[in-house]
Amino acid sequence: MLNEETTRYGIRFSKKMKILTAAVVLILIFVGTFVVLQLQQTPSAKVKELVIAGPPGPFTIPLAYIKEKGMLNDTVERVVIEIYENPAKLQVIVARGDADIIVLPTCTAALLYNKGFKVKFIGVCAWAMHYIVSDNPNVQCLHDIKGESIAIPFNGATPDALFSLLCQSEGLDPGKDFNLIHTASPKQAAEMILQGNVHHAILPEPLATLTILKTKAKVRKLYRVINISKAIEEKLGLKTPIAGATVSSRIENNSHLITRFLEAWEEAIVWVQENPAEAGKLAEKYLSQYGIKAKPMELAVKNIEWGFAPSWEAREDLTRYYEALLEACPNSIGGTLPDENFYYTPESSG
């Protein structure tokens, strides 16, 4: 009987062990799977240094805000802001791979990509910032200044491209209907109109505001007469996503870092819009060596149409904009449309 009971209990114990073992295995599988998923979702170690390049103007203010507030401290140990003063220096930065993220005109982003530089477009930050400044306050459209001279910075760059689109919207030929005077920089265009060498100039912010302010106490005053992007949208139904950001190949696969930057960038852009006075002060703090003062920048910030959109949301507007530029000013984007690899998406970063 003892052996039978022992056997019986032995059998029962064995069944319990099997059930218990199976339960333990299932728990281990569940926990193991959870841990693996957590490891996959956990961001990698902090990036030691993130270099962000921007121009000496309004579009660097959100970058300064990100740095000031430590908005990327959970992801980056040190944020460095590098300033480029002209397209030539920008190209050097891109060629050398000196910056991880670059804020720049969208035309330039496409141009660099089409030249073979490894950049990916990640988002838009502004949609309008160029104005025709004139000594004639009655100018309402290009037909009002047909046949006259106009100073335009950078042959084949954004100001030239926008002017070509505006001419197209009014049925005019920029080369035939105007005397175009291309300058080596926006400052040169501003000096030309300030000195009276031309009656009209295309100026971006903050230079449009600064130039107008310089004539406030003078007999010959200057006026902001045409918001070029707004006029293009009204006449062609075309939005002009004029400024945005690209990432280098060094970080294009770091989706966590790019996502964190986009989140911080969006918040910073909204802050600039809502706090122009503070934004002006921050600009002076970071850009005083380039002649930037708080009050003029405060006014300039108000004359920019800010608006954040990640690349995958802005792509349709960007494509239409690039298609229009390809027809009106093909050199501004390198003579061809950037292909799908130009646009960053979270999926493309793996």
Whole-angstrom CA distances from 105 to 57, 213, 240, 265 are 12, 25, 11, 16
Look at residue 120 and give its three-state secondary structure. strand
Find tokens 């696969």 and name the residue.
Answer: 253
CA atoms within 13 A on the CB side of 249: 9
CATH number at residue 95: 3.40.190.10
Question: Which pLDDT belongs to residue 12?
Answer: 44
Q: Are residues 268 and 226 in the same domain?
A: no
Q: Give the position of tokens 């109109």.
A: 193
Query: Of the candidates 205, 236, 267, which is a domain's last residue?
Result: 236
For 99, phi and psi rounded to 5 degrees? -125, 145
- Amino acid code (one letter) for 324: A
114 with 263, same domain? Answer: yes
- Cβ neighbours of residue 224 under 8 Å, at least 6 residues apart? 131, 132, 133, 208, 212, 303
pLDDT, position 350: 54
Domain co-membership, 313 together with 326:
yes
- Residues 286, 164 within the same domain: no
Same domain, 117 and 256: yes
Q: In the prediction, which pLDDT does 216 show? A: 87
Question: Would you say residue 219 lies in a domain?
Answer: yes
Distances (CA, A) of 337 to 87, 159, 179, 239, 311: 20, 19, 29, 17, 15
Residues of 113-144 as b/e, b for ≥16 C-beta within 10 angstroms? bbeebebbbbbbbbbbbbbbbbbeeebebbee
Question: Is 327 domain-assigned?
Answer: yes
Helix (H/G/I), strand (E/B), else coil: 163: helix
Same domain, 116 and 192: no
How many separate domains does the chain show?
A: 2
Q: 61 and 126 in contact (C-beta within 8 Å)? A: no
The pLDDT value given to residue 33: 42
Question: Rounded to the nearest 5 degrees, what angle is found at the Cα of 279, between the Cα atoms of 242 and 314?
Answer: 25
Q: Report pLDDT for 44.
A: 58
Decide if 3 is inside a domain.
no
Tell the burial category of 254 from Cβ atoms under 10 Å away from its Cβ (0-12, 13-18, 19+): buried
The pLDDT value given to residue 13: 41
Bridge partners (DSSP) of residue 136 are none
- Among 206, 236, 266, give the residue marking a domain's end: 236
- Which pTM was predicted? 0.85
211, burial (CB in 10 Å: exposed 0-12, middle 13-18, buried 19+): buried
Residue spans of the chain under pLDDT 70: 1-44, 348-350
Look at residue 349 in the predicted model and tell me its pLDDT: 62
Question: Phi first, then psi: what are they for 217, rounded to 5°?
Answer: -100, 10
User: How many CA within 13 A on the CB side of residue 268?
Assistant: 24
Domain-embedded: residue 36: no
The SS3 of residue 279 is helix
Residue ranges making up the domain that contains 193? 130-236
Structural Rg of the chain based on CA atoms: 28
Q: Within a domain: residue 142?
A: yes
Please tell me whether residues 145 and 219 are part of one structural domain. yes
Domain boundary among 236, 252, 283: 236
